[in-house]
Structure 1
Amino acid sequence: MSFFSDPDTVARYAENPPKLVPGFADLQRMTLQLINERVGEDANLLVLGAGGGLEMKVFAEARPGWRLLGVDPLAEMLALATRTLGPLASRADLREGTIDAAPPGPFDAATCLLTLHFIPAEDRARTLGELWKRLKPGAPLVVAHHSFPQEPGEKDIWLSRYAAFATASGIPRDKAEAAAEAIGTRLPVLPPEQDEALLRAAGFVGVSLFYAALTFRGWVAYRA
């Protein structure tokens, strides 16, 4: 996560997700739609991995009655979230830390976008369990992150596809390939079946894949 402590990286953060994550804007819109299925006009949402504030801004603009609690381990990214939200920042409570920094709730919904792939499997299981504890019964959790086959040959194919997409989106080829290598060697990425198993083991039900885009997968699940 030290990568996001670099001032230049933070300054350019809003530019990169659309170039690196296929259908980035649609992912946010789908997340909003899935939450809308279960949540009314007046609701409390927990956003884990809130740094940058991009999805929080989408939620705040679409639902004036929603109150947002955002958690992120990096102060630099939370400062960026405040700038991204602008006048909407008054509706967001931003806290530095991991899931443990979030109050017990209960919350009406939670999201964790482009975050879980930074967390090792053993800590990911605990993080999902803590999210479950903070949700009301029936509340949705929406997650999306890197999740693709990890067998050596197949893993390399997917990483090359990630690099090719980034290059076609305007990222210099050497940087795109370096990013793919970093994902393959430094991130604790899990295969999709293991990600789903962790959600179920944490107590979530109705686990459904709603987003699949090259190396990324997204699921919606519900607190029992």
Structure 2
Amino acid sequence: MSSFDDPNAVARYAEGPVRQVPGFHGMQKMTELLLAEAVPTDGHVLVLGAGGGLELKAFADARLGWRFTGVDPSAEMLKLAAATLGPLAPRAQLHEGYVDTAPEGPFDGATCLLTLHFLTADERLHTLRELRRRMKPGAPLVIAHHSFPLDDGGRARWLDRYAAFAAASGVPEKDTKNAAAAISARLPLLPPEQDEALLHEAGFERIEMFYAAFTFRGWVAYNPG
């Protein structure tokens, strides 16, 4: 059973990103501001990997006219998203599944935060293409996930820094080392230049990095139009 399907792990989910992702709240705020440059005040935003509802709530709190479609493969995480949204929940439609089963839109903008690092390069390219297909011309996509140099000892060096940040944020040191080892062994990690190349290959333009924090990188890109 995936940790995202374990009710106990899901209940503790909200504790994790703040302690493990440097500048987590700032990254969410920057994502919302980047979306707002192009998404109208009554816009509809697709959030892929919406389980937990943390970014849904941050966006909904900040932009009172936006509507959301949240997609996630975990029913337990979507339950948590609904609970996290609370009274804001009517503004978000939640769908259990993957990008292939996401509504067609077209959407005024889209996000995929802390999700793509679970996918292989081929799966990422497919996901990015399916996201772009569901977006209006000129719509922005914001992504952020593990993406860091992997050569010349970069994998070990940057994962040590990831673990050090989590430990400094209150995560037990043993747990931080186990998490870093699991990321190295289980995630199909890619370096930033390959992530950018996939965005180009998927057909996006005006690709800009906006976020870099130890092992994490984030980009904004636009559907041509």
Normalising by structure 1, we get a TM-score of: 0.98
Separation (CA, whole Å) in 1 of partners of 2:135 and 2:57: 21
- Find the counterpart in structure 2 of residue 115 from structure 1: 115
Are positions 1:16 and 2:46 aligned together?
Answer: no
Question: For 2:14, what is the secondary structure of its paired residue?
Answer: helix
Gaps of 5+ in 1: none
Please list the CA deviations of residues 80-99 of structure 1 after superposition, one character each: whole Å capped at 9, or x if unmatched: 00000001111110000100
User: Secondary structure at the residue paired with 2:153?
Assistant: helix
Q: What's 1:208 paired with?
A: 208
Aligned equivalents of 1:3, 1:152: Cα separation in 2: 32
Instruction: Measure the CA separation in 2 of the matches of 1:80 and 1:191.
Output: 31
Residue in 2 aligned with 1:67? 67
Specify the alignment match of 1:219 in structure 2. 219
Q: What's 2:85 paired with?
A: 85
| Partners of 2:157 and 2:172 in 1: CA distance | 19
State the number of aligned residues.
224
Q: Secondary structure at the match of 2:45?
A: strand
AA of the residue aligned to 1:56: L
- Tell me the residue number matched to 1:171: 171
Residue 55 of structure 1 corresponds to 55
Mapped pair 1:25 → 2:28:
no
Counting only pairs closer than 5 Å after superposition, residues 88-99 of structure 1 correspond to structure 2 as: 88-99=88-99
Shift of 1:67: 0.8
SS of the counterpart of 1:70? Answer: strand
Distance 2:28 2:17 in 1: 11
- Looking at structure 2, the residues matched to 151 and 68 of structure 1 have their Cα atoms a distance apart, in angstroms, of 39
1:46 alignment counterpart: 46
Provide the C-alpha distance between the structure 2 equivalents of 1:159 and 1:8, rounded to a whole number of angstroms: 26
**Deviations along 1:156-190, whole A, 9 cap, x unmatched?**
00000000000000000010000000110100110
SS in structure 2 at match of 1:85: helix
Query: Which residue of structure 2 lines up, in the alignment, with residue 106 of structure 1?
Result: 106
4+ runs of 1 displaced by more than 4 Å? Answer: none
Secondary structure in structure 2 of the residue aligned to 1:141: strand
Q: Is the counterpart of residue 156 in structure 1 residue 156 in structure 2?
A: yes
2: CA distance between counterparts of 1:117 and 1:191? 11
> What RMSD, in angstroms, separates the aligned Cα atoms of the two structures?
0.9
Give, in angstroms, the shift of residue 3 of structure 1: 2.0
Deviation sequence 1:129-157 (CA, Å, 0-9, x none): 00010000100000000001122611100
User: Quick one: distance in 1 between partners of 2:8 and 2:37?
Assistant: 38
Query: Deviation of residue 102 (structure 1)?
Result: 1.0
Separation in 2, partners of 1:72, 1:6:
15
CA distance in 1, matches of 2:139, 2:185: 35
Report the TM-score when normalising by structure 2: 0.98
Residue 130 (structure 2) aligns with: 130
Deviation at 1:5, TM superposition (A): 1.6
Distance 1:73 1:150 in 2: 29
Range 207-216 or range 94-103, more displaced: 94-103
**How far apart, CA to CA, are the structure 2 residues paired with 1:166 and 1:99?**
30
**Aligned amino acid, residue 92 of structure 1:** A
Percent identical pairs in the alignment equals 64
